[in-house]
């Protein structure tokens, strides 16, 4: 029984599968060669993250496949409904990486508020010769306490982020097209827990009120941006925008224009429209903090993801 972890799997997950009698291949196979490889090896389960797509043509061409697993939250790179219609099991690990993504967003909020992302670019080259001018340039940072953060998409990641933001003394509002539970339990070790209610607003109201906006929504089925020129124009002047969800959720061209005009003070992007080759000019923009799609890339999250995928495969296929 062969499992192809095409975008990798944690050592703990690999060991769990091997102990259950599976052969685990962790070599990455290029998309163009994936169909032939799966058929040649008789792959039973295919594990992917965001680098590999599993579309109808691949599903139809690989009769040995019985399980498709996505390490992480979104499954927009898999034709999920079609695969399930064909009798395949499709599963992801939505809870495993929530903490890691939320912590990256918090890190970027601090970075944006104090211009750390830009000062870290400038200090190596200019710190010794232009220290005073750089000190003046970055002397207008802001505190997070007391600011309003708008969380667009109030699922597991959005809820994890809300807990952190409340702990920092921020006012939290959320928006979601689904009916979601807006009650949160905040647990403080040695002190106990309290229940709080997060205010839910229509998107157009949230974007007009928030000082920081963090997106936690899937890519739209039609490929359109949720945040485009119209939405950016309705935001508060000086807003900070963070996308650790999916590339294409923000119209990147419109974002650059809003940054250049000064309406948006800064942005943090962990995901991009054209991964893995994002626009080079976008990457050079002085008001954008950047990371290469690492939201879930912590040791702890990868361990949880690997073990959860292993458990799902073992439950589905080990006794088959």
Catalytic positions, written as ranges: 246, 275, 293
**Bridge-partner residues for 149, per DSSP?**
172, 212
Which strands, in side-by-side order, build the sheet including 239-243?
Answer: 199-200, 171-175, 148-152, 212-215, 239-243, 264-269, 288-290
Give the burial class of 33: count Cβ atoms within 10 A of its Cβ; 0-12 exposed, 13-18 middle, 19 or more buried. exposed
Torsion angles phi and psi, residue 305, rounded to 5: -60, -50
Q: Which residues of 83-107 are buried (b: 16+ CB within 10 A; e: fewer)?
A: beeeebbbbbbbebbbbbbbbbbbe
DSSP track, 189-204: TTTEEEEEEPEE--HH
Residue 243, token pair as written in the block: 């996308």
Apex CA 214: angle with CA 272 and CA 174, to 5°? 140
- Provide the 8-state DSSP code for 220: P
Long-range Cβ contact pairs of 167-172 (< 8 A, separation 24 or more): 168/106, 168/144, 169/144, 169/145, 170/144, 170/145, 170/146, 170/212, 171/146, 171/147, 172/148, 172/198, 172/199
Give the residue ranges of DSSP H helices in 270-298: 280-283
């Amino acid at each position: 029984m062969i499992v192809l972890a095409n975008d990798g799997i944690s050592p703990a997950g690999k060991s769990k599968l091997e102990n259950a009698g599976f052969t685990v291949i962790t070599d990455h196979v290029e998309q163009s060669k994936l169909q032939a490889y799966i058929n040649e090896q008789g792959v039973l389960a295919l594990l992917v993250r965001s680098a590999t797509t599993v579309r109808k043509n691949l599903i139809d061409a690989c009769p040995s496949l019985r399980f498709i697993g996505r390490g992480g939250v979104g499954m927009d790179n898999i034709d999920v409904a079609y695969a399930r219609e064909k009798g395949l099991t499709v599963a992801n690990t939505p809870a495993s990486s929530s903490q890691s993504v939320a912590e990256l967003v918090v890190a970027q909020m601090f970075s944006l508020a104090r211009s750390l992302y830009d000062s870290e670019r400038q200090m190596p080259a200019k710190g010794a010769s232009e220290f005073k001018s750089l000190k003046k340039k970055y002397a207008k940072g802001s505190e997070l306490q007391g600011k309003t953060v708008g969380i667009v998409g109030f699922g597991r990641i959005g809820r994890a982020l809300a807990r952190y933001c409340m702990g920092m003394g921020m006012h939290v509002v959320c928006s979601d097209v689904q009916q979601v539970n807006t009650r949160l339990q905040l647990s403080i070790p040695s002190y106990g827990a309290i229940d709080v209610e997060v205010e839910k607003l229509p998107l157009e109201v949230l974007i007009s009120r928030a000082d920081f906006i963090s997106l936690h929504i899937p890519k739209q089925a039609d490929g359109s941006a949720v945040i485009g020129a119209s939405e950016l124009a309705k935001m508060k002047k000086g807003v900070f925008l963070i996308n650790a969800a999916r590339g294409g959720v923000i119209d990147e061209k419109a974002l650059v224009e809003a940054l250049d005009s000064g309406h948006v003070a800064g942005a943090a992007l962990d995901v991009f429209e054209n991964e893995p080759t994002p626009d080079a000019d976008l990457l050079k923009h002085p008001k954008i903090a950047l990371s290469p799609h690492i939201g879930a890339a912590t040791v702890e999250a990868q361990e949880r993801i690997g073990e959860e995928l292993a458990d799902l495969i073992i439950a589905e296929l080990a006794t088959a």
